[in-house]
Every structure is written in structure tokens, then in C-alpha cells.
């Protein structure tokens, strides 16, 4: 067991070539086009990103920013948590991505940037699974309860069950597998839009888990590990209430980062529950979350690596 549910450092990628990705939209129903020129959309995305980073740093949260290159265009590069994960033992994993447009996000330059300040002892590249048509999009599809060594995964085209179970076993985590759909019955593309696990609380859209046995299994497991479960509705999920992340600063103060959209969609009572042991930190990212179909949690890749 470890007491490191939340990271003290974050990697974020500035979205210089941000845009609506037609490929990812095939499985991501959270994406919506806006009537904006490419130039205006990218300006708004970068402004939202810069303001978010400034807010995080103003609370002494360490943020490493990678300035993405404009070419080749990577419309979803602002969501780096989907292609890598880092661990306290120095391990770093690279993951297979479901769409070709996102595979070019995996960057040796990002790894080099991290390795200057943290000790990357070994890299495991699982991206070769793409050749076989199987995918596992990192902490987009895997929600880790690091304290209790449990990982939750909603199966979809982006979360292959065999890869999920193998990775859980490799890291010594108990896998909890289930299925989830939106209000029209379409599969949820990423687990992290329907649930978030913090040190003492857990947000989850139980309404999206239609199979009774799976729904009861997920809720029972969360309660068994002592989490205060905050069930959210489908409407709240669509407002990214599940796409939240607990982080810490060097003073060991805890924060829950979420979008302003999600903050507004939580009830006053739910915000009180979430903020009992952490400060809520809403960031305004309407362009990024509307066009990209991912919100605050997706923008932050946790850095658990040991410092050099």
C-alpha cells in the first residue's frame, strides 16, 4: 500500500494545433464542433490552457509545460494522460492509442523533458498492440486507487480487457471491469469521464453502468475501501463532473481540479462533500472541453516519478 493517491507534479501540453478531431469523434460523444475559425479556436484553447496553468501554479502545484509543435498537427495533444503514465518506482509506460491521429502524440521530447528533473529508470512501450487492433489509453481508461491497489476500467474500443487485466497484474493492482453507456446506449469512451477517485471520496455515474451486478460491484468496492461515494447523474457526467483529479502541492495541501462547467453542475451539497478534505480548484476551459471532448482531468498527466 502507498499513501500517494495524488501526485505533486503534473505534465501539461500546450495545445498549439488544437481542433476538432473527426477520428476520435467516432467513439467520443462528448466532442462538439464550434462555429469558430481554426485560428480563433486555437487562440481560445491556448488562452484557456495558460490561465489554467497559472491558476495551478498560484497554489504551488508543480506544472511542467511542454510546448507542442505546430506540425504535424495534433488536435488532441492537450490530453497527454492518454498516452503515458509514470510511477514512483521510476517506471514509465507508453500506451496503444485507438486512432492514428493521436499516435503521433507519443513524444521522445516529452520523455527527455521529464527525465531532466525526474528519474525515469525504465520505459515500457506497449504501443505495439496497435498493430493487433487492441488499445489501452492509459489513465483515460484506467482509474487507479493507488492506496488500495485497485484499478477500475470501463471496457470500450479504447480499453481492451486483456490489456487492462495484464497491466493491472503487472502493477500488482486488482482489476475491476465493467461496461457503461450514455443515455442513448452508446458506450462511454473513457472511464475518466464517468468516475474519479480521490483519497477519501469517489465520484461515479452509477446510472451509466446498466448491468446491476457490475453497478453493485463498483459501488460496493468503493465503499469497502472507505470512499465517500458521490453518485452523479448522466447530465452531470455530460458536464464532466466525473473528469476531476486530486493533486497536491509541496506543502501537502490537497486540491481537486475540475472544470468550471463541472463545478457549476455539482450541487452545493456535493461540492461540500468533495471539499471536506481538499480545496476545489475550478478552471474555465469551455473551448477545450467542448471541442476536445475531454476536460480538466484529461489535461493533466500525473508525475509520480522520483525526483533526481
Identify whether 116 is part of a domain. Answer: yes
Per-residue pLDDT at 4: 87
* CA–CA dist 69, 74 (Å, integer): 8
Statement: residue 231 has pLDDT above 50: yes
Statement: residue 3 has pLDDT above 80: no
The reply to whether omega before 273 is within 30° of 0 (cis) is no
Statement: residue 40 has pLDDT above 50: yes
Identify whether 174 is part of a domain. Answer: yes
**DSSP per-residue letters across 1-45:** --S-SSBSEEEEEE-TT----TTGGGT-TT----S--HHHHHHHH
**CATH number of the domain encompassing residue 272:** 3.75.10.10
Residue closest to 189 by CA, chosen among 244, 137, 130, 131: 137
First to last CA, the chain: 23
Identify whether 172 is part of a domain. Answer: yes
Per-residue pLDDT at 1: 42
Identify whether 70 is part of a domain. Answer: yes
Identify whether 80 is part of a domain. Answer: yes
Q: What is the pLDDT of residues 83-116, one digit of tens each?
A: 999 999 999 999 999 999 999 999 999 999 999 9
**Could you give the number of structural domains in the chain?**
1
Q: What is the mean pLDDT of residues 138-150?
A: 98
Statement: residue 254 has pLDDT above 90: yes
> Nearest 5 degrees, angle CA 31-CA 34-CA 38?
105
Statement: residue 233 has pLDDT above 50: yes
* Residue 282 · residue 259 · CB < 8 Å: yes
Identify whether 138 is part of a domain. Answer: yes
Identify whether 298 is part of a domain. Answer: yes
Statement: residue 241 has pLDDT above 60: yes
Residue closest to 9 by CA, chosen among 73, 62, 66, 84: 62
Identify whether 3 is part of a domain. Answer: no
Instruction: List the domain range (segments joined by +) for residue 189.
Output: 9-303
Q: What is the mean pLDDT of the chain?
A: 97
Provide the β-strand partners of residue 303: 9
Model pTM above 0.85: yes
Contacts of 173 (CB under 8 A, 6+ apart): 144, 149, 150, 151
Statement: residue 49 has pLDDT above 80: yes
Percent of the chain surpassing pLDDT 90: 99
For strands 279-283 and 254-259, give the pairing. Answer: parallel
Statement: residue 9 has pLDDT above 90: yes
Statement: residue 2 has pLDDT above 70: no
Amino acid at each position: 500500500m502507498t499513501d500517494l493517491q495524488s501526485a505533486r507534479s503534473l505534465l501539461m501540453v500546450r495545445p498549439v494545433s488544437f481542433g476538432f478531431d473527426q477520428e476520435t469523434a467516432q467513439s467520443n460523444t462528448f466532442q462538439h464542433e464550434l462555429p469558430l475559425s481554426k485560428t480563433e479556436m486555437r487562440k481560445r484553447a491556448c488562452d484557456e490552457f495558460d490561465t489554467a496553468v497559472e491558476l495551478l501554479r498560484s497554489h504551488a502545484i508543480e506544472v511542467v509545460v511542454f510546448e507542442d509543435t505546430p506540425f504535424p498537427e495534433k488536435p488532441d495533444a492537450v490530453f497527454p494522460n492518454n498516452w503515458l503514465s509514470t510511477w514512483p518506482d521510476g517506471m514509465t509506460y507508453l500506451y496503444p492509442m485507438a486512432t492514428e491521429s493521436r499516435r503521433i502524440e507519443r513524444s521522445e521530447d516529452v520523455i527527455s523533458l521529464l527525465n531532466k528533473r525526474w528519474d525515469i529508470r525504465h520505459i515500457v512501450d506497449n504501443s505495439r498492440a496497435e498493430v493487433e487492433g487492441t488499445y489501452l489509453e492509459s489513465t483515460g481508461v484506467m482509474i487507479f486507487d493507488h492506496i488500495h491497489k485497485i484499478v477500475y476500467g470501463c471496457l470500450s474500443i479504447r480499453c481492451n480487457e486483456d490489456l487492462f487485466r495484464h497491466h493491472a497484474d503487472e502493477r500488482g493492482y486488482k482489476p475491476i471491469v465493467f461496461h457503461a453507456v450514455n443515455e442513448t446506449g452508446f458506450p462511454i469512451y473513457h472511464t475518466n469521464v464517468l468516475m474519479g477517485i480521490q483519497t477519501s471520496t469517489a465520484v461515479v455515474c452509477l446510472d451509466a453502468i446498466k448491468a446491476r451486478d457490475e453497478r453493485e460491484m463498483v459501488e460496493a468496492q468503493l465503499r469497502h475501501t472507505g470512499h465517500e461515494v458521490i453518485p452523479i447523474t448522466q447530465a452531470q457526467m455530460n458536464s464532466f463532473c466525473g473528469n476531476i483529479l486530486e493533486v497536491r502541492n509541496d506543502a501537502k495541501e490537497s486540491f481537486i481540479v475540475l472544470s468550471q462547467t463541472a463545478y457549476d453542475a455539482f450541487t452545493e451539497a456535493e461540492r461540500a462533500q468533495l471539499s471536506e478534505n481538499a480545496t476545489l480548484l475550478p478552471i474555465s476551459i469551455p473551448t477545450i472541453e467542448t471541442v476536445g471532448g475531454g476536460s480538466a482531468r484529461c489535461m493533466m498527466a500525473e508525475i509520480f516519478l522520483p525526483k533526481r
